[in-house]
Copies of this chain bind each other. A is one copy, B any other.
Amino acid sequence: MRSYAEYCAIAKSLDVVGDRWTLLIVRELALRGACRYTDLRNGLPGIASNLLAERLRDLEGAGVVVREEAPPPVATTLFRLTPRGEELRPVLDDLMRWGLPLMADQAPDDAIRSHWLAAALELMLTDLQPDESPVTVELRTGDQPIAIELGDGAIEIKLGPVESPDAILAGPPRSVLGLLVGMLELADAEAQGVSFEGDPAVLRRFYGAGTRISRTVA
């Protein structure tokens, strides 16, 4: 993209990361750590291969990304954020926070990746009953399961299955999120295709976290 040619910090930032796809590439590296070219393609459905290569070159030139050759036996090239690139996390966090209300509209052709959902949940969820016993929930939505672990007032969200979950939640992402966040009652969520196994009381641990979001939606 052409430079804005403005002596302004915001414009100069956008000169670096304002191109189409660029911030989403940074998002992938921030959420998933070092990635192979193929991993990035998978996390950026629809990107043209030449664009991904070009953006990675540009980001490398700007000092945001480094390319490193993994040693044998893997022997593949990895892309990783530099410290300067890591400093973009606040920008990503704010953009994610601002975009949370927009998760209310899930377009039929929206691609879905569980690590995007996990990042959103990390911003939204709080344990409303931190004194209760620890609880684990497995989410089955997106391209891989998500593990939620409540305990000691903290919430941990990881990718991957849960050993013996106290509850299992499956269904369309929008409805699963809506239920967790308290915008949807269990009955409504189930009407939208959500299946819930376990003790419904577990959901109360999250309820209300979403009222703050709901208020944001115009």
Contact = CB atoms under 8 A, between A and B. Distances in A.
A84 B90 CA distance: 19
Contacts of A70: none
Contacts of A24: 4, 6, 10-11, 14
A109 interface: yes
Count identical subunits in the complex: 2
A112 B23 contact: no
A12 B63 contact: no
A168 interface: no
Residue among A46, A94, A97, A173 with most chain B CB within 10 A: A94
Contacts of A74: none
Contact of A18 (B6, B12, B20, B90): B20
B9 A102 contact: yes
B95 A9 contact: yes
Nearest to A218: B63
A35 interface: no
A140 interface: no
A27 interface: yes
A112 B11 CA distance: 11
A111 B14 contact: no
Contacts of A117: 7
Q: Would you list the 9 A-B pairs with minimal beta carbon distance, nearest first? A: A9-B99, A13-B99, A8-B116, A12-B102, A7-B110, A90-B94, A9-B96, A91-B94, A13-B95
23 contacts: A1-B20, A3-B107, A5-B45, A6-B112, A6-B113, A7-B107, A7-B111, A7-B113, A7-B117, A7-B173, A7-B174, A8-B99, A9-B98, A9-B103, A10-B116, A11-B24, A11-B99, A12-B102, A13-B98, A13-B99, A16-B99, A84-B218, A90-B98
Interface of A: 1, 3-16, 18, 20, 23-24, 27, 45-46, 63, 84, 87-88, 90-92, 94-100, 102-103, 106-107, 109-113, 116-117, 119-120, 123, 173-174, 216, 218
